[in-house]
Structure 1
């Protein structure tokens, strides 16, 4: 089986990447290492493709290769095997809390939970671009919600999605007064992937399809597919990731495609390459985004604000934060206030639920960096608020202990 081994940045100086990769394979195979090297990446990153047998593959190769990768980097990578790791670096001051299903080791050197059951839900082995990385992780969210009050006490603003239960009212699932509950809005572009049938009918679907198909292909219903190749498959199952040309159609258009399949003995179709179109109605709150009002108290608006969350394709440099601003000195409440008071008003016509859909409005990170007046709050203010809502001492301790 072929494996892609990613090793990060290109080696500095006059170093042959291919020679380096062959030397690494020599550490795994006794002889003929060059025969297992299928390709070396030399332009944008350091890595190679190797054909590995049961003699040495996957995580079994990692302990022999990790000497070639940076050590003692503390990063958020999914890799949990502690084999052949020494003590944590001296600069690390964190600890692991013992929980009902997890204990720390020399791989995971920091782990915190904020719920009474303490489950972290961590599984897996060390794989990927930096197998020698250490991991520090914390978890505040479980199936019944997020314990974000402790994060607030530690100076961390917890930002949560309002939920995906819209457009029904009072469906927002993150509504604590100290957290930031964010609704999902559209942007002014949509990605459309058209499906053209053999009867010349064209239907618009959604996907990121960069493939360009040539000519029409036979199309069959997915339930009838066995090992058929060289055609188009129509499936009623919702797919999230596509490795082949695909388009996700709405219910009515999907029904029309199914009718066409049953109307002819030799149905054909083609999935066209993605096109970008302007959405003149944007921004508006997505139908699936959870709505307010706050299901616990009408005195706190939820969601707090809205941010783009539909058809997002983006990247940014690792050299700075996404906005480029450092807000380390601001309290969580001050950051939340800055984001809400500078949010842009949204159209009432395209958002019938108004503030219960979009909260304070569409986020504007540039204006939020210079908000002017802010409304700050601390732990004592929230305790007073909860007391006014009828919380007793036991209930307060459950939130702030």
Structure 2
């Protein structure tokens, strides 16, 4: 699909049609804003000029995620020359439908539940196969959560729904979109970086970082280095100077120098503008302890780089121990094969699932850092003066970017296995994931300590392995309703959610919901867990292999399952 055009070409309702030029009703781009307009009317706020009745993407977020999920092959895709190569989405031949539900925030977040639900209804009517939803949602009461409600009805109609886990990490219990009928996606790094290094004069110190800019420092010249707090303006607080916020730096102290700031309350772009306006020639943004090793690339108005917490300490120690600290920032270059990779993104929201601990979330992680994808031409995504350059692709970071990676894979699986349910597709993706990085070591978090299932769920996605999972853990809409019954919802509440459903006389044990992962939140002495597996592969025998969590003994019965022509499903019991 490449750069998303201003005028969308639609896809036909009849998915067997081989061309966009069909005579049936077209699916293209739609917008939903009645909920937003109703809210404005309720608080007597006149409609702002920025709220335009159009599905056009003025922020770039929707274009970026959609092209990640289903972009066509585009040669020489790059952002200002960096990351150059052939780009494509996860399912490059998929037809796409865009549903705009978010608007400029006015006294409230700009995505209203009624508009989200209207878009879900339209998607069901349009008979889409996969929905990628890069929006945060989450409520202990699923009936008050527009995303959870809409996703349930979509899944009931055979649509796989993939949602972002959220960007509130690394705090535990911070994830959203926790409903078990949703595929919840966290974010990890990739093995490509836009590398810019700090060179320290008269030493062997070379600190690796990431950033890119339209300007460069001369390669053989060194400039004075100064810590931002040492350049604090008279009326600024120490905290504002630490983070290089507006009007926090003294131009007399900054002029002609490279300033070292702490990454905090603003973006590196804003930090660069502050340093530039104060007369600085370069910027180093250093992580705090929570961000650790995690770095993502941002554009800048001056030569700049973003470095890890450990490397930032090294640089600060050098500056504080040297009478005349000098340094340079190298020109950006695209590097591949970065190790270790993947690493959990520091911002990626973590489990456990604070609403239902028995359902392990996130389900899966996928690339969500420095993702190059198409961007809307309706605005300047970089937010800085780039002259007459046209930005068709842009690096973005977030679980919003990870989400469409999984959606694209789900689309491919749906095309390969049209008889698979949304639960079977999720199972194939989860059970084929890996918990190892490209150094064959356990996936690590931003501090390079071993990550856990509360960070990555089942692990990092492996698309090719998901094609043939052998066995899947399947679930039906009735199973999800029985799960909701077990949470204590009554018939009246269920009637608000779906058609009448008769709850079992004895509520199910939530831990026995046939989910591809298992979580036992209150393990005292022992627990018995049951799962049902469905054979979607060849006839044969499967042997159980267990890697026990530390301090826990696990037994599975039976230890072998044999499938014949007439046998499709079998049960397993874990003790």
Equivalent residue for 1:217?
Answer: 223
CA contact (8 A) 1:348 1:354 kept: no
In structure 1, the residue matched to 2:153 is 153
**CA shift digits 1:2-25 (9 cap, x unpaired):** xxxxxxx9xxxxxxxxxxxxxxxx
CA–CA distance in structure 1, aligned partners of residues 150 and 227 of structure 2: 51
Structure 2 counterpart of 1:51:
none
CA distance in 2, matches of 1:199, 1:119: 58
Cα distance in 2, alignment partners of residues 169 and 95 from structure 1: 35
User: Partner residue of 1:162?
Assistant: 165
2:457 corresponds to 1:359: yes
Kept in 1: contact 2:133–2:161 (CA 8 A):
no
Cα gap change, 1:267 to 1:143, in 2 (>3 Å): farther
* Superimposed CA distance per residue, residues 336-380 of structure 1 (whole angstroms, 9 cap, x where no aligned partner): 122112223437855545333322222111232344443333322
Identify the match of residue 337 of structure 1 among 422, 427, 430: 427
Q: 2:227 aligned with 1:291, yes or no?
A: no
Does 1:176 find its partner at 2:179?
yes
Offset at 1:385? 1.2
2:126 alignment partner in structure 1? none
Distance 1:111 1:277 in 2: 35
CA-atom RMSD, angstroms? 4.6
Report the CA distance between 1:138 and its aligned residue. Answer: 9.1
- Is the contact made by 2:427 and 2:474 (CA closer than 8 Å) also made in structure 1? yes
Structure 2 CA distance for aligned equivalents of residues 284 and 95 of structure 1: 36
Whole-angstrom distance in 1 between the partners of 2:494 and 2:182: 16
Listed as ranges, the matches of 1:71-150 within 5 Å are 73=8, 91=26, 96=32, 98-101=34-37, 107-108=54-55, 116=113, 118=115, 141=136, 147-150=147-150
Residue 178 of structure 1, CA deviation? 0.9
Higher RCO (C-alpha 8 Å, min separation 6) = 2
- Structure 1-normalised TM-score? 0.58
Q: Distance in 2 between matches of 1:176 and 1:342?
A: 21
| Kept after mapping to 2: 8 A contact 1:149/1:400 | no
- Taking a change above 3 Å as real, the CA distance of residues 235 and 182 of structure 1, as seen in their structure-2 partners, is same
Please state whether the residue corresponding to 2:151 is helix, strand or coil. Answer: helix
Q: How far apart are 1:176 and its partner, in Å?
A: 1.0
Measure how far apart 1:183 and its partner are.
Answer: 2.6
Conserved? CA contact 2:32–2:115, under 8 Å = no
Q: Do the aligned partners of residues 105 and 254 (structure 1) sit closer, same or farther apart at CA in structure 2, a change above 3 Å counting?
A: closer
The answer to whether the 8 A contact 2:36-2:112 is kept is no
Query: Shift of residue 395 of structure 1?
Result: 4.5
Q: Cα gap change, 1:106/1:391 in structure 2, threshold over 3 Å: closer, same or farther? A: closer
How far, CA to CA, are the matches of 2:255 and 2:496 in structure 1? 58
> For 2:259, which of 233, 239, 252 is the aligned residue?
233
CA–CA distance in 2 between the matches of 1:164 and 1:73?
Answer: 30
Please state how far the C-alpha of 1:295 moved relative to its aligned partner: 1.7
When the two structures are superposed, what TM-score results if normalisation uses the length of structure 2? 0.43
Q: Distance in 1 between matches of 2:262 and 2:6?
A: 47
Structure 1 residue matching 2:327: 3-state secondary structure: strand
Equivalent of 1:204, from 204, 207, 226?
207
Cα distance change on mapping 1:112 and 1:168 into 2, 3 Å: closer
Q: Would you say 1:327 and 2:414 are equivalent positions?
A: yes
Q: Deviations over 1:227-258 (max 9, x none)?
A: 97654333334514323321112345435544
Tell me, what secondary structure is at the counterpart of 1:184? strand
CA contact (8 A) 1:152 1:332 kept: no
Residue matched to 2:476 = 378
Matches within 5 A, 1:55-70: none
Quick one: distance in 2 between partners of 1:205 and 1:243? 20
CA contact (8 A) 1:207 1:247 kept: yes
Number of aligned residues:
302
Q: Contact 2:305–2:329 at 8 Å: present in 1 too?
A: yes
- Find the counterpart in structure 1 of residue 368 from structure 2: 309
CA distance in 2, matches of 1:268, 1:97: 54
Inter-partner Cα distance in structure 2 for 1:166 and 1:138: 19
Whole-angstrom CA distance in 2 between matches of 1:309 and 1:233: 29
| Residues 432, 465 of structure 2: 8 Å contact kept | yes
Retained in 1: the 8 A contact 2:101–2:116? no
Q: Is the 8 A contact 1:167 1:289 kept in 2?
A: yes
State the alpha-carbon separation in 1 of the partners of residues 490 and 430 from structure 2: 30
